[in-house]
């Protein structure tokens, strides 16, 4: 990309400060199954209701022209894969230098076990936060953001909450938009089926575990107790067998600079540069591609990823990015803003119980108010 703009610290400052007419940064990557182009991959599955048993457990949309598009990884799932980039190294692994860029907050759940806030699905708005000594600091931080747009307390406490978004729906009601969003979709897919047969290593009826009659009743019935416990032969026929993509598999990553510039509060400019630095690191970090069993994806070596800046006019300009520039910028931005202190707080079961009682009380109050409402 000879005409691509080189990204340096000055340009990143301009993105954060709103001195350029850039509203977003976008990365598109083309992916391939580890087994090669055209191999079977398995999308995520979702629980189905009683009336939906005949539907596919995959999310596959059909466009107006008949093209079928499969969701391979969701925005939320991608965020949960990116956030541990800032997690401190576990025992036996090399130290993670990026962990110094964010406060390391651990919730002690007893028996010498802890849960990192970076592993909590709802981040600062997660139930485990409300059920810990972190409850009041989190309330104060969300209230400041909700009432004044002040993101300072959140940035000091849980900055990745500003990067990947959160909705404190069970607390102060604050909604924090994602600065980094990513999805993976496969285009022009066909859905496959698969079948299998389980045969036990011995005939348990001959060893007196159950009768021959019980065996005959249970064999071939996957709902029978003997089949579910693995004591009799049982087939699995017509199960969902993944998809084959005839079109590309795209990973799209977007950094929302408009949402970034709306972050206010103390140290506004330093805060925005700090949060943007974390967002850029997360967006640019290569992923290992192992999404789930049967779905290991790699980059397509013949189609390198392309970064672009997107202007308000819709004009797109290619960017040349060196990941080391992001790391250097992030270290300086973190030093200038001041990374919040590490904390270790206690999980309090009694707080979780009180949270549930409060939820029940609100539900009962709402039902009572509805019942008292006069009808015309």
pLDDT of 71-95, one tens digit each? Answer: 999 999 999 999 999 998 876 678 8
Q: What is the 3-state secondary structure (H, E, C) of 69-95?
A: EEEEECHHHHHHHHHHHHCCCCCCCCC
Beta bridge partners of 299: 31
Edge-to-edge strand ranges of the sheet holding 40-41: 40-41, 234-245, 189-198
User: Could you please report the per-residue DSSP string of 317-353?
Assistant: EEEE--HHHHHHHHHHHHHHH-PPPPEEEEB-HHHHH
Predicted TM-score (pTM) of the model is 0.87
Please classify residue 164 by burial: count the beta carbons closer than 10 Å to its beta carbon, then call 0-12 exposed, 13-18 middle and 19+ buried. Answer: buried
Closest among 364, 359, 350, 361 to 135, alpha carbons compared: 350
Torsion angle in degrees (nearest 10) through CA of 164, 170, 171, 176: 20
Per-residue pLDDT, 53: 60
The number of helices, as runs of H, and strands, as runs of E, in the chain is 12, 18
Residue with the bigger pLDDT between 190 and 265: it is: 190
Task: Tell me the average pLDDT of the chain.
Answer: 92
120, 223, 348 from 101: Cα distances, Å: 18, 51, 28
pLDDT band at 328 (very low <50, low <70, confident <90, very high): very high
Q: Please, are residues 131 and 358 in contact by the beta-carbon 8 Å criterion?
A: no
204 has pLDDT over 90: yes
Q: What is the pLDDT of residues 257-295, one digit of tens each?
A: 999 999 998 889 999 999 999 999 999 999 889 999 999
Q: Which of 89-98, 318-327, 359-368 shows the lowest mean pLDDT across its residues?
A: 359-368
Write down the pLDDT at residue 238: 86
Q: How many CB atoms lie within 10 A of CB 147?
A: 10
Q: Which of 241, 237, 178, 232 is nearest to 206 (CA)?
A: 232
Contacts of 305 (CB under 8 A, 6+ apart): 27, 28, 29, 30, 299
């Amino acid at each position: 990309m000879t005409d691509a703009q080189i990204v340096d610290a000055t340009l990143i400052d301009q993105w954060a400060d709103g001195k350029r007419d850039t509203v977003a940064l976008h990365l598109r990557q083309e992916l391939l199954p580890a087994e090669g182009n055209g191999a079977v991959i398995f999308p995520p599955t979702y629980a189905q209701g009683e009336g939906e048993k005949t539907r596919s457990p995959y999310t596959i949309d059909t466009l107006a022209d008949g093209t079928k598009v499969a969701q391979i990884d969701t925005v939320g799932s991608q965020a949960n894969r990116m956030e541990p980039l800032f997690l401190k190294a576990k025992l036996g692994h090399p130290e993670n230098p990026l962990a110094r860029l964010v406060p390391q907050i651990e919730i002690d759940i007893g028996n010498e076990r802890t849960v990192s806030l970076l592993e909590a699905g709802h981040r600062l708005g997660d139930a485990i936060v409300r059920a810990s000594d972190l409850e009041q600091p989190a309330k104060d931080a969300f209230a400041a953001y909700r009432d004044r747009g002040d993101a300072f307390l959140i940035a000091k406490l849980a900055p990745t909450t500003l990067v990947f978004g959160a909705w404190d729906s069970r607390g102060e009601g604050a909604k924090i938009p994602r600065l980094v969003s990513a999805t993976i979709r496969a285009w022009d897919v066909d859905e496959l089926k698969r079948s299998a047969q389980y045969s036990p290593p011995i005939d348990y009826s001959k060893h007196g575990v159950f009768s021959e009659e019980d065996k005959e009743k249970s064999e071939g019935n996957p709902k029978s107790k003997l089949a579910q416990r693995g004591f009799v032969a049982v087939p699995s026929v017509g199960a969902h067998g993944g998809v084959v993509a005839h079109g590309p598999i795209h990973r799209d990553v977007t950094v929302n600079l408009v949402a970034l510039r709306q972050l206010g509060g103390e140290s506004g400019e330093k805060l925005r540069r700090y949060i943007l630095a974390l967002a850029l690191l997360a967006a640019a970090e290569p992923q290992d591609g192992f999404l789930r069993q049967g779905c290991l994806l790699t980059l397509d070596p013949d189609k390198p990823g392309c970064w672009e800046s997107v202007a308000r006019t819709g004009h797109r300009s290619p960017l040349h990015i060196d990941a080391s520039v992001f790391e250097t910028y992030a270290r300086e931005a973190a030093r200038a803003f001041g990374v919040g202190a590490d904390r270790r707080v206690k999980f309090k079961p009694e707080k979780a119980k009180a949270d549930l009682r409060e939820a029940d009380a609100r539900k009962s109050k709402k039902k009572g108010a509805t019942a008292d409402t006069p009808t015309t």
